[in-house]
Structure 1
Amino acid sequence: MFSFLDMVNHYLGYFNINVTLKSRIYTVLGFFGDVYLFYISFRFLQNQMFSKGVPILLVAIILLYFTICNFFYYFTKKQPWFDISPKIAKLLHIQEHPRETQVQSKMGTTVIADERNVPANGLFDDQHLLPAKIEVSPMQQANIDRLVAQMERQQLFRADYNGMSDRKIYELLKVNSKPIYAIGKGVLLPYFEMQKQGSSLMVYCGLNQAEIYPVGEIKRIGLQSIRSLDLSQVKLYLASVTLVGGPYKQIGRAGVIEAPQDYKLRAMVAYKKL
């Protein structure tokens, strides 16, 4: 049962689905997983294996509580009276932030509300976008690092953890253990294009069209490898290339520590059936 739920969760990550819809799917799947936990616990109790049945039953009850809260949150506009989330948020000093996007002129960590960061290649329908896996060679990684240095000199982004102090970063890491990157969630590259070279799809990026470098090869789009795609039946467009990764901070033994990491690329490809 849990292998099935994990498989569904894995494959949902390949699709560009609305966050609310994806959360509803996870809530429904979580409900079935919780039902399975109740089934296991009752079977243990029927066989008088209380040391195993009681803990699983308690976990199932706790998960059922959160599942019910999620049903209220994602399927209705009401908040249940028994929801303790506001109290937990108040206890941990977590404030709800308005939806923010990166400033288009800087494409960095400065954020403002309700403004879209439009890619250089324009906007595509979300229903026709798929994530692409890019394979990068050592030489192409050097090109990425060179482009990052050029963008920093042009002040297209700031790798300053959005101006947060180590104390603020430490508080965020206590709530969410995921590393916090210096450039934030990602920086849209100024210019990018995709070129077909033989049977390969190469990605080129740069500050502008006159100065571009090969930065990787697209190996997979969605669930399909490039070799399995019939390019005579579908037209592909490179919709966006985002710079991610780089230096990040995490909690160490003596507080917040910074660790190095190579910058990576996250790409989205639009398709059109011919």
Structure 2
Amino acid sequence: MFSILGLINTWIGYINMNVKIKNRVYTIVGGVGNFYLLYVAWRFFANGFIGRGLLFILAFLVLLYFTYLNAIYWFTEKKAKWDISPKIENALGIKSKDPEEEARKKVARMRQAGFVQTNGIFDENQDFLPAEITTSEAELANIQIVADSLKKINYLHLDYDGKSKNTIFKEIKSDGKVRYALGETPQALPYFELKNVEGKLVIYGGINQIESYQLGTVKTIGLMPASEAAKKYHIYLATVVLTGGPFMIAGRSTAMEDNEPFRIDAKIAYTSREKKAAPKVASSYYEKTLSLEDEHLSRRRDRRR
């Protein structure tokens, strides 16, 4: 029985799911497995081992109590009665953590790492400009292909930052803003590139350079048309992130999910074409230096002779 529970636990670990759903599954599996102790206790009683049977009954009751606490915590919004967890934490010096909050922080850290410009690291003093991107129907379809590919390799997390539906509903009610499954931190594409195609700045992106697609055309950079900006500045594609996708809005009593196509957003880094190049040292300087070195070496040879 315990081997079966261990296998189930291993299988669940392979599945990427919301932390709340995962703990609900653990609670159900643990609760069902706990009744195996009753069977073992009954077998001990049947064979005359009363003491051992009572120990298994005691273990069953203790585990049943903690199963009750988990069921109240993960399946309801209520607080369990007769909860001794805080006393145990104080006695052992353990600082309690909210599993959902920890999961959200972990996801946020991962996404923040993904948001760092994958075309290089730009410092805070770097000049950036927002870009307006136009997409044709074919390019919009390509973006959906890229998003689906990223979901398949588990790069794209569409889990609302690990928040529960009830939490999302309360947040939407408080500020009136929709919540996207992509989360609050933008998720950058693993690969993207800016190409000049027939005088237009075209964005390509995807899982990698091999599986890249045409995703959109830069229409404006800042307040300038892209063509004029390219003449005045050296243009670099700093980052490309996904936007859109599944989202939730507030219904009458709960959050309701809807869907919209994925799109892309980009940030452009630039440098002026009028910047002066680093001053070059005159060639006469090198000639004088070399002649002095030759003269010095010749004197040393004469001394040795």
TM range, normalised to the smaller chain? Answer: 0.5 to 0.7
| Pair 1:125–1:223, CA change in 2 (3 A) | farther
Report the equivalent of 2:155: 156
Which structure has the highest helix share of the two? Answer: 2
The alignment's C-alpha RMSD in Å is 2.5
Report the equivalent of 1:259: 258
Report the equivalent of 1:81: none
Which structure has the highest strand share of the two? Answer: 1
Alpha carbons 2:195, 2:201 under 8 Å: kept: yes
What amino acid sits opposite 1:124 in the alignment? F
Report the equivalent of 2:129: 130
Deviation at 1:115, TM superposition (A): 6.4
Deviation string, structure 1 residues 38-90 (Cα, Å, up to 9, x no partner): xxxxxxxxxxxxxxxxxxxxxxxxxxxxxxxxxxxxxxxxxxxxxxxxxxxxx
Structure 2 CA distance for aligned equivalents of residues 249 and 201 of structure 1: 34
Alpha carbons 1:195, 1:203 under 8 Å: kept: yes
Structure 2 CA distance for aligned equivalents of residues 152 and 113 of structure 1: 15
| Pair 1:146–1:122, CA change in 2 (3 A) | same
Structure 2 CA distance for aligned equivalents of residues 152 and 114 of structure 1: 14
Report the equivalent of 2:188: 188
Deviation at 1:163, TM superposition (A): 2.3
What amino acid sits opposite 1:112 in the alignment? R
Structure 2 CA distance for aligned equivalents of residues 220 and 139 of structure 1: 20
**1:204 is the counterpart of 2:204:** yes
Q: Give the secondary-structure state (helix, strand or coil) at the position aligned to 2:169.
A: helix
Q: Give the secondary-structure state (helix, strand or coil) at the position aligned to 2:207.
A: strand
Structure 1 CA distance for aligned equivalents of residues 221 and 231 of structure 2: 16
1:107-256 matched pairs, under 5 angstroms: 110-112=107-109, 116-117=113-114, 118-126=116-124, 127-185=126-184, 186-229=186-229, 231-256=230-255
Alpha carbons 1:203, 1:216 under 8 Å: kept: yes
Structure 2 CA distance for aligned equivalents of residues 115 and 140 of structure 1: 26
Per the normalisation by structure 1, the TM-score is: 0.57
Q: From the CA coordinates, give the structure whose radius of gyration is larger.
A: 2
Structure 2 CA distance for aligned equivalents of residues 190 and 142 of structure 1: 18
Alpha carbons 1:144, 1:263 under 8 Å: kept: yes
Structure 1 CA distance for aligned equivalents of residues 200 and 248 of structure 2: 36
Deviation at 1:198, TM superposition (A): 1.8
Per the normalisation by structure 2, the TM-score is: 0.51
Alpha carbons 2:147, 2:156 under 8 Å: kept: no
Deviation at 1:102, TM superposition (A): 8.3
Structure 2 CA distance for aligned equivalents of residues 180 and 115 of structure 1: 18
Report the equivalent of 2:68: none
Alpha carbons 1:193, 1:205 under 8 Å: kept: yes
Q: Give the secondary-structure state (helix, strand or coil) at the position aligned to 1:210.
A: coil
Alpha carbons 1:134, 1:219 under 8 Å: kept: yes
Deviation string, structure 1 residues 24-49 (Cα, Å, up to 9, x no partner): xxxxxxxxxxxxxxxxxxxxxxxxxx
Percent identity between the two aligned chains: 33
| Pair 1:268–1:259, CA change in 2 (3 A) | same
Deviation string, structure 1 residues 163-211 (Cα, Å, up to 9, x no partner): 2221111111122211100111321100000000122100000111122
What amino acid sits opposite 1:176 in the alignment? D
Structure 2 CA distance for aligned equivalents of residues 273 and 148 of structure 1: 34
Structure 1 CA distance for aligned equivalents of residues 112 and 248 of structure 2: 28
Deviation at 1:114, TM superposition (A): 11
Task: Mark the runs of 5 or more structure 1 residues left unpaired by the alignment.
Answer: 1-97, 104-109
Total equivalences in the alignment: 169
